[in-house]
Amino acid sequence: MKELLHPDLEYVLYTKEEIARRVEVLGEMITQEYRGKELLCVGILKGAVVFYADLIRAIRCELATDFMAVSSYGASTQTSGTVRIVKDLNEDIAGRDVLIVEDILDTGLTLHYLRRLLMERNPASIRICTLFDKRERRAADIQADYVGFQIPDAFIVGYGLDYAEKYRNLPYVGILSSRVYAK
C-alpha cells in the first residue's frame, strides 16, 4: 500500500519498506562484528529512538541498552555548534564494546563531541551506527562505522526525525518543504 504524502513534504525519500530492509542489513553486519561479545547499544534521544528500537531487534547477539540525550539544534534546522548533554548514560562503559546509534550524521559536531567524551570513560571500543549520513555538511572529522543511507543536503523528517518536534511518527522519511521552516 502506498503511503500518503504528508502535505508538508516535497517527496518521500525512503519508504518504510526500504528502511526496514536496510535496518535488517545493518543488524546482520553488527551481529557478525560482535558475535561472542556483549555489546552496549547507546541510543541518542530523541531522533534515533525509532531506528534504535528496530535495529536492536535486528541484532542477534548479546546486548545491553542505554540512552543519552544531547542537544545542538533546538527548534532550528541548523546546529548551534554547542552540544549539551541532557541525559547521560546509566551504564559504566569502561572495558565495554559500545555502539552509538544515531539517526543522522550531519555536520558531525555532536557525534565528534560525544565520541571524545565517551572515550574518556575507557570503553574497549566505540563504533557509530547512523541511519542517514549527510556527508556534504560534515564540519568535524568523524565517520560512521555503519551507515544506512547516504542522503543529499536536504532537511529530512519522519521515522523519528523531526522539525520542531513534529513528523517523528511518519513511517517513512521525506524531504521537508522549505516553505515549512522558512516561516
Q: Give the catalytic positions in this structure.
A: 106
Q: Is 157 helix (H, G, I), strand (E, B) or coil?
A: strand
How is 16-68 classified by DSSP, letter by letter?
A: HHHHHHHHHHHHHHHHHHHTTS-EEEEEEETTTHHHHHHHHHH--S-EEEEEE
How far from 50 is each of 23, 64, 103, 115, CA to CA, in Å? 11, 17, 9, 22
Asked if residue 63 lies in contact with residue 4, where contact means CB atoms within 8 angstroms, the answer is no
Question: If we measure between CA atoms, which residue out of 140, 27, 161 comes closest to residue 174?
Answer: 161
